[in-house]
């Protein structure tokens, strides 16, 4: 695997592996073994969503205990959340949408940021903010492969991480597109596997996810 750059960019985040796991953790004790299990399967860019009270503690634990992983935060909706995430050690942030305020804050923090977009106008706004790696959310609900193909014409320099409704069966058709760097999905970290502390299952899911696209052939534009 390539060395993780010291000065990480959003492009580094989306080009590292075919899948970014969307992680919801309710228990701090799951954070470190989960990160180790995902890394063992070849996935090291980890999106820990800010949807539970322990999320930032989980990020802190991953950063301290699993240096091979790159812990980021998801569901970032305000600048204050981005700041708190960075203080906890998060190396990148992912948001469900795009706002100028978040763009400013993440730029000031030097925090690589993947904002969510679902329309051409939002892509234009993100481009105005200097961003060219974007989350497409909610991908399958908003138009999936067809919408991504339609964006290839006007936005050839933008790469996307479609997230929302992505599963192993529809991921290959997304990953085959020239403007898809990776996909995001929660299927890599099933709630039941966490409850069962079935780390081997999560490593197996990560390995399968890496095999969805054996070699990253995406052009960065």
Report the C-alpha dihedral over residues 72, 77, 79, 81, rounded to 10 degrees: -50
> Of the residues 108, 135, 195, 208, which is catalytic?
135
Beta strands 93-94 and 183-185: pairing type?
A: unpaired
**Catalytic: 128?**
no
Q: Which of 8, 13, 17, 22 touches ligand 3PG (CB under 6 A)? A: 22
Cα–Cα distance measured from residue 31 to residue 36, given in angstroms and rounded to the nearest whole number: 9
Measured CA angle at 134 (ends 5, 111), to 5 deg: 45
Rounded alpha-carbon distances, angstroms, from residue 204 to 4, 25, 37, 88, 201: 23, 19, 9, 29, 5
* Token digits of residue 138: 């909610």
Closest to ligand 3PG by CB, 4 or 210: 210
Quick one: tokens of 173? 């058709």
Is residue 186 within the footprint of ligand 3PG (CB under 6 A)? yes
Stretch that binds ligand 3PG, among 60-68, 76-84, 144-152, 164-172 (CB under 6 A): 164-172
**Residue 164 makes contact with ligand 3PG by CB under 6 A:** yes
* CB-nearer residue toward ligand 3PG: 167 or 220: 167
Least distance in Å: CB of 14 to ligand 3PG? Answer: 15
x/- site string to ligand 3PG, residues 80 to 119, per CB under 6 A? ----------------------------------------
User: What character string, x for contact with ligand 3PG (CB under 6 A) and - otherwise, covers 124-143?
Assistant: -------------xx-----
A 10 A CB-CB count for 12 gives 18
The residue ranges that bind ligand 3PG (CB under 6 A) are: 22, 137-138, 163-166, 185-186
Instruction: Indicate which residues carry an active-site annotation.
Output: 47, 135
């Amino acid at each position: 695997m390539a060395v993780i750059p010291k000065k990480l960019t959003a492009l580094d985040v989306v080009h590292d592996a075919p899948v970014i796991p969307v992680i919801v953790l309710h228990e701090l004790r799951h954070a470190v073994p989960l990160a180790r299990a995902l890394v063992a399967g070849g996935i090291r860019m980890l999106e820990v969503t800010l949807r539970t009270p322990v999320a930032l503690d989980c990020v802190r634990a991953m950063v301290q205990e699993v240096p091979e992983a790159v812990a980021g935060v998801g569901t970032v909706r305000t600048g204050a959340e981005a700041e708190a995430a960075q203080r906890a050690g998060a190396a990148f942030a992912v948001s469900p949408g795009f706002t100028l305020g978040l763009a400013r804050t993440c730029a000031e923090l030097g925090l690589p940021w993947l904002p969510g977009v679902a329309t051409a106008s939002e892509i234009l706004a993100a481009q105005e903010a200097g961003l060219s790696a974007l989350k497409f959310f909610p991908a399958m609900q908003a138009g999936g492969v067809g919408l991504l193909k339609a964006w290839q014409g006007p936005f050839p320099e933008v790469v996307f991480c479609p997230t929302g409704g992505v599963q192993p069966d529809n991921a290959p058709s997304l990953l085959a597109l020239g403007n898809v760097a990776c996909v995001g999905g929660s299927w890599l970290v099933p709630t039941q596997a966490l409850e069962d502390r079935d780390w081997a299952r999560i490593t197996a899911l990560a390995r399968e996810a890496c095999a969805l696209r054996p070699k990253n052939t995406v052009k960065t534009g």
